[in-house]
Structure 1
Amino acid sequence: MSAFLIVLVILVVLVGVVAGLFIGPYNALVRLRNTLQEAWRQVDVELNRRYDLIPNLVETVKGYATHEHNTLSDIVALRNQARQMDAGAVPTQERGAVESQLTGAVGNLIAVAEAYPELKADAGFRQLASQLSETEDRIANSRRYYNAVVGDYNTKVESFPSNVSATMFHFEKAAYFQVDDPTMRQTPAVDFGELGYGSGVQRPGAAQTPQIESGQFTNPVTPPQTTATPQPDPGQIKRREPGEGAGTSAS
């Protein structure tokens, strides 16, 4: 084999190694990053839809529930704070925390309407509540897809040999977008007073079990009476003398 062919083979091998370590993983990372950004845009569309619905909801509730001023102010503040964070191609953990609080606040506001019959009967409020519910469902679906893409992308960033290209070309790990209601993470409180069935402990507000007094029965059939066997009086028992018959009475 000539020296030219040897050099050519070496070059081909080097190109293959470079392609395996850099070009292929780099292209895969680029594809995943683009998919990640597209998935986030879908989440962002639904979040902005919620931002647009919240002011109308607040104004509607304000007309009926004047005592909920603090709740309405908190929702407006959270909505404005979240919208100010709507600037990047991918979300941040800080924005996820704010969106989580906003989700809980909107849910609480809709639940507050139960205390205001006129508000519940308002057609505009019912329509807004329905649209917000549908938007929350779309946010949840889009978020699940986005987080799945984040998992694939982060695995690629950390795995060899793609991690070499990720380090060289500054592919950073992406953050998951968590918008969970924090109340769902709380451990439910257990009232141990409800567990006193066998020990005679009665839960407050529960129906009282009627008590049956001695000698009273709900069954119309009279229970059988038990006749006690008479016991002899020790003072009436006379000691039998030796020699007396079994059936002979002592005088």
Structure 2
Amino acid sequence: LNNARMKKLNDVSINKYKFFNQWYNLYSTLSRMALVYIIPARKGLQDQTYVNNFVVLNTPGRSIAIVSRFAGPERQGESIIAEKFLQDLYFETYKCPCTFEGYPDLKLIRDNIFFGGYGRRTTETALDWISDVFDIEIIKVEMTNDHNYHLDCNLFILDKENVLLSTETVSKESIKAIEKVANIHPVSLDDAMLGICGSLKVGNHVLNSSSSSLDYGKDMRLERVCSRIGLNVFFIDVGEAFKSGGSLACLVTPLNYL
């Protein structure tokens, strides 16, 4: 089992035909908003559908990507596929010497400022290495919840000034650091567990997963926050992916920042 959420799902089966349907619906929606590349699948990589195994930096004049060094050995093969894919797109690729799990733990807020999450997976040392080597400012966010072990489980960047934040799953010192650069729209632990921060932003659109009546309250609260700052929300069912601990955001990684 690759994450704490899966420990509760031993008796839950994933309907692969339903998953393919949901994946194609997401792909079709994204294709109307952006140019979408598909990473080639490799047999034996059980989590490859969660393509967050690298992160692209916001470096003018250069295309730089940092490939993940996963904590779990069962995911190491994904990084090899991702690195070849990125090199075919003429990215400069680098691999952190410490555990670093890619886009889920490094989020651009604006300019050269990123939020970097560390805890159960990505290490604080990895964030220091990235900051030093690539000369970017990383505001560190310490994550304190075993289930929400990636930054995208706890924080979602709405725009250059506003973020959603699960204030119950990060340290108080981290909250203070985030407040210095962004307006925090707090979300509850329940909404965080339902994937409110596992959203994807494309232009002025926010995509989030909604698959049952349990999501209704979370959906309404997300729409309320987004409408205040001029963002549209689209809900797409990726409930089969959620069964193994993956949110909608886990299925996509941006290749540039607009």
Higher strand share: 2
**TM bucket normalised to smaller:** under 0.3
TM-score by length of 2: 0.18
Higher helix share: 1
Q: Tell me which of the two structures has the higher relative contact order, counting C-alpha pairs closer than 8 angstroms and 6 or more residues apart.
A: 1
TM-score by length of 1: 0.18
